[in-house]
Structure 1
Amino acid sequence: MATGAPVAQGAQAVAMLRTPDGADVGRAVATEVAGGLRFTLDVHGLTPGTHGAHVHTVGHCDAPDFQTAGGHWNPLGAKHGSMNPQGPHEGDLPNLVIASNGHGTLGMVIPAATMAGLLDADGSAIVVHAKADDLMTDPSGNSGARIACGVFGAN
C-alpha cells in the first residue's frame, strides 16, 4: 500500500487552534494513513499572507506566547526545514497560506510518523507562526512569533 493511502479505521487526533486571547481560529487533524500521518489544517480569522506551521513536542498552549508547546517535533534529531540538507524535523509542515478573507488550508503526509509518537506522554501541539517559514534555518525557519496553537487529543 502506498504511503499516504487511507487505512480502514485509522486513528485520528484533533487540535482546536486558538489565538493568545482564546479566539477559535480553526482546527488541525492528524490521521493515520499507510506509512505515516496525514496532517490537515483548516483555519480562519488569521492575517492574510504566508505563515509557518509546525507540530511541536509538548501538548501545552499557554498564552500569551505558546512557548509551553516546546520546540518542533523532531524525534530523529534532524535540522529544520525541507530545504535543509540535514532536515527536516518530523514536525515541519509546508507554509500555510492565508487568503485575503482570512481562510487557509494545508494538507501533508509525514512518512513514518506515528500516532503513538504524536500522542506520547507529554502530547504535542500544532503552532501557526506570524511569518513565512524559510524552510531551512534552524530551529524554526525564521517564522516569527507563535500566533495560534492547539493541543492534539485522540478523537
Structure 2
Amino acid sequence: MKKISLLLIALTLSVVACKKEKKETKTTETEMKKEVVMTPKKVKVALSAKSDSNVSGNIVFTEEAGTVSMTAIISGLEPGEHAIHIHASSDCTAPDGSSAGGHWNPTNAPHGKWGAATGYHKGDIGNFTADENGNGTITFSTDEWCIGCGDETKDILGKGVIVHAGTDDFTSQPSGAAGARVSCAGIIE
C-alpha cells in the first residue's frame, strides 16, 4: 500500500508541475503586416498634326497619391508661345481637330487661367514656349484630375488634348482666343 501511495503522490506532483509549467508558458503572437504597393496609373498618348501643320509629340499622364501629372513633349511648332488645353472629346478625326469639341468644362465655369479666383475650365492648362527649333515641353500637376476614376468632374479618360497655334489670353470666352488647333490626341487607354 505504501508503494501505491508513494506512486500516487509522485503522479500528483508531476501533474501539478506540468500544470504550473503550462501556466508559465508565454504565448507569442506574430503580427503579419501586409504592405500594399500602389502602382501609379499611367496613360501615354501621341499627338497628331491638324490644320495642315507638322505638329506632333507625346504626352504622358501619371496618377499617384491623388495627383495627376502631365508631361508633354511637342515638336513641329512655330517658335514662341502656344496654348494647350484638354477638350471634351477624344475624337481627333476632323482635319482641323474640331471633332474634339470645346474645352472640357464639367463645372460650367468661365474660361480663365488655371487657379484663378474668377474661375477656369478643368481643361484650361495654359501656355508653353516652343524654342527656335519648334520644340516645346510643358509639365503640369493637379489633384483636380484623375485617370479612370469615373468622377465626371475629374476623370480625364475619354477627353482630348489640343495644342493651339497661338496663345491663350485667359480672358476671351469660351476658349481664350488661342487660334487654330495644330495637334490633337485622345486620352484613351
Question: 2:156 aligned with 1:118, yes or no?
Answer: yes
Are the aligned partners of 1:90 and 1:110 in contact in 2 as well (CA < 8 Å)? Answer: no
Structure 2's unaligned 5+ residue stretches are 1-36, 149-154
Q: SS where residue 61 of structure 1 aligns?
A: coil
Matches within 5 A, 1:1-155: 8-20=38-50, 25-82=56-113, 85-116=117-148, 117-119=155-157, 123-154=158-189
In 1, the alpha carbon distance for the partners of 2:82 and 2:92 equals: 18
Q: CA deviation at 1:23?
A: 5.0
Q: How many residues align?
A: 145
**TM-score, normalised via structure 2 length:** 0.70
If you compute each CA radius of gyration, which structure gives the higher value, 1 or 2?
A: 2
Which structure carries more relative contact order (alpha carbon 8 Å, separation 6+)? 1
**TM-score, normalised via structure 1 length:** 0.84
Are the aligned partners of 2:91 and 2:100 in contact in 1 as well (CA < 8 Å)? Answer: yes
Percent identity of paired positions between Structure 1 and Structure 2: 37
Q: CA deviation at 1:36?
A: 2.9
Structure 1's unaligned 5+ residue stretches are 1-6
In 2, the alpha carbon distance for the partners of 1:100 and 1:22 equals: 16
Query: Which has the larger helix fraction?
Result: 2
Q: CA deviation at 1:65?
A: 1.0
Name the Cα RMSD after superposition. Answer: 2.0
In 2, the alpha carbon distance for the partners of 1:45 and 1:132 equals: 16
